[in-house]
Amino acid sequence: MDGLSGDDAEVRLDHVSYAVARDSFVSTVQRIGSALGAGFVDGGVHPRFGTRNFILALSGGTYVEVVTTLDHPAADRAPFGQAVARRAAEGGGWLGWVASVEDIASVEARLGRTSTEGHRVRPDGFDLRWKQIGLLELLEDPQLPYFLQWLVPSEERPSADPRTSTTIHGVSIAGDAASIAGFLGEPADHPLDQIDVTWVEDEEPGLVSVEFATAHGPVTI
């Protein structure tokens, strides 16, 4: 697979996503927030995807998302809603990791299709907008990330106002390093500059765990 080029090559971890069923949504938000030393905030509804989330902005320009489906037809139609529903049906857990790029056009060209626009209206009324691509690959191969390009100023993005000094130190992924590196267009030995990536053996491919550096020491979820 061809890598990204030029400015588009700056691929970074944007956020990690944890999917759960509706009946355990609130308790999961509370549990993870307690472990990381800060409370989540209501992110709002994704009307095109049939989902809603709570988010926790971390230091270092990343955030954690806990997401669930709505009782809405879009959750059955949209790839993101399908991915969340499937992970929730499996008992819940890490859905995946999301890589951000400044210009998603090169990823569109590489994958041979256009990205999907997404948005959610925050409780304060701001319409948060972005483009994303790669959910179809995630559905087929959970080890792969999907790509996102924000369409709002940096100060309005979910990671802009950290609620804690906690950072993401590393991620553990079950999968094939070469496949992921090729999909990202980054070297296999260090696909993400700001965090450590550990390749592990597991029965199913995907994001296995995330290690956080907190004020009280490392926490792995």
pLDDT tens digits for range 39-90: 999 998 988 889 999 999 999 899 999 999 999 888 889 888 999 999 999 9
Edge-first strand order for the sheet with 167-174 is: 196-200, 167-174, 206-214, 217-220
Tell me the range of 1-15, 66-80, 188-202 where mean pLDDT is highest: 66-80
pLDDT at 31: 97
pLDDT tens digits for range 109-123: 888 899 999 888 888
Of all residues in the chain, the percent with pLDDT exceeding 70 is: 92
pLDDT at 132: 93
Lowest mean pLDDT among 132-146, 158-172, 186-200: 186-200
Radius of gyration over every alpha carbon of the chain, rounded to an integer in angstroms: 16
Output DSSP code: residue 8: G
Spatial separation of the C-alpha atoms in residues 123 and 10, rounded to whole Å? 31
pLDDT at 187: 63
Is residue 155 exposed (0-12), middle (13-18) or buried (19+ Cβ within 10 Å)?
Answer: exposed
Which residues are within 8 A (CB) of 30 and not within 5 positions of it... i.e. 6 or more apart? none
Asked whether 148 and 99 are in contact (CB, 8 A), the reply is yes
Please give the backbone phi and psi of residue 10, each rounded to the nearest 5 degrees, phi first. Answer: -80, 85
What's the average model confidence in pLDDT over 199-221?
92
Res. 168: pLDDT tops 60: yes
Angle value at C-alpha 64, between 34 and 160, nearest 5 degrees:
110
Which pLDDT band, with edges at 50, 70 and 90, does 179 fall under?
confident
